Amino acid sequence: MTNTNRSVLRSVASFLPARVVSNEELSARLDTSDSWIRERTGIGQRYIAEEGQLTSDLAVEAARLALSRAGVQAGAIDLILVATATPDNTFPATATAVMRKLGAGPCMAFDVQAVCAGFAYALTIADSLIRTRQVRHALVIGAETFSRILDWEDRTTCVLFGDGAGAVVLTAGGHDEHKGILACAASADGRFYDDLYVDGGPSSTGTVGHLRMNGREVFRHAVSRLAGAALEVVEAAGLTIGDVDWLVPHQANIRIIDAVGKRLGVPAERTVVTLESHGNTSAASIPLALDTAWSDGRIKGGDLVLMNAMGGGFSWGAVLARI
Ligand code: UT7
């Protein structure tokens, strides 16, 4: 296959707020327990943003580090995408707040709202803008402050989520046909709108609202959608699951990750799991996991990395990239 203008992942970085909230801390004020949370989800703790610490603050820390690791100046970026369901304000886009804080731009900048699938969607969009030569350097961020939309009295949801951010720098890769994003898939099915949603918003209630979830229904669909999207991108690239070095899935529940791994035939040793320490950080979970495994040396240059995610909408997606 001749490469025209593939998007190469130049760097990844992430940022977590300082405050750690353990399962024990939640158990002290809710009818839950460390053992329930660990056994049913795989989560041991989560990070929670300080009051006044915004999604853009987390995003910009991850972005600065990603730019410095890539050796790309903020002024050279011509696309900023922030995948988030927890923007600083209803508008303007959190991507423009990140731009201002970085001293970047003027350039194209907008938010991508596909909840937990947001990072896969944002990579898909950035990749297509790079391939069509409208963009050379893209900063793609997943950043969330889900703590702000949780009902802290609802044990069925509040124990699951955390705050954080991750960022990648994508660059038009020239003609190295081995590196870069090989295939993307993104889709949604609005019939499931009510299974995972926030019961507020500027047009419906004029309030911010709280996350509501039909956990069992989400779980049931997650396994088939995540596995389906993964197979779709592998087949589109003319490869097989056996070629994949690392599965970097959205981190929602260890039982979902294990079930998807089994269905695909990817062993646990080749799956990156950060749930225990990060919880579910929605759009930030894939870049946080990618940074963890890239920084600790598990993911190396030349590795084939498969990322997949599913969340509210339902929305789902997958991206296959050669690092
Ligand atoms: O990132 C977006 C995508 N989100 C997801 O992928 C989440 C998908 N869903 C899930 O991960 C799981 O469905 C949950 C972790 C949310 C729930 O696990 P589950 O095994 O499906 O539990 P369940 O909802 O069937 O509840 C089992 C029991 C219930 O009690 P009863 O009715 O059997 O007496 C719940 O009330 O566990 C109870 N329960 C809890 N107990 C202690 C629910 N939450 C808690 C809790 N602590 N935090």
Indicate yes or no: pTM above 0.85. Answer: yes
Does residue 116 have an active-site annotation?
yes
With a 6 A CB cut-off, is 222 part of the ligand 1 pocket? yes
Give start and end residues of each alpha helix (H) in the chain: 23-27, 34-41, 55-70, 94-102, 118-131, 155-158, 215-236, 254-264, 275-278, 285-295
Residue 69: name the closest of 176, 166, 159, 153 by CA: 166
With a 6 A CB cut-off, is 182 part of the ligand 1 pocket? no
Mode of pairing for the β-strands spanning 79-83 and 108-112 = parallel
Does residue 280 have an active-site annotation?
yes
Q: Mind listing the pLDDT tens digit of every residue in the chain (323 residues)?
A: 444 589 999 999 999 999 999 999 999 999 999 999 999 999 999 999 999 999 999 999 999 999 999 999 999 999 999 999 999 999 999 999 999 999 999 999 999 999 999 999 999 999 999 999 999 999 999 999 999 999 999 999 999 999 999 999 999 986 666 799 999 999 999 999 999 999 999 999 999 999 999 999 999 999 999 999 999 999 999 999 999 999 999 999 999 999 999 999 999 999 999 999 999 999 999 999 999 999 999 999 999 999 999 999 999 999 999 99
Could you confirm whether domain 180-322 is CATH 3.40.605.10? no
SS3 166: strand
What spacing in Å lies between the alpha carbon of 271 and ligand 1's midpoint? Answer: 23
SS3 61: helix
What spacing in Å lies between the alpha carbon of 215 and ligand 1's midpoint? Answer: 6
Q: Which of 121, 156, 158, 211 to mutate to test the pocket of ligand 1 (most atoms within 8 A of CB)?
A: 156
The residues facing 165 across adjacent strands are 15, 143
**Among the CATH numbers 3.40.50.12240, 3.40.47.10, 3.40.50.1820, 3.30.43.10, which is that of 7-172?**
3.40.47.10
What spacing in Å lies between the alpha carbon of 157 and ligand 1's midpoint? Answer: 8
Residue whose CA is closest, atom 16 of ligand 1?
Answer: 215
Say how far apart CA 314 and CA 197 lie, in whole Å: 10
- What the block records as the tokens of 102 is 């970085």
Say how far apart CA 225 and CA 62 lie, in whole Å: 29
| Delimiting residues of CATH 3.40.47.10 domain(s) in the chain | 7-172, 180-322
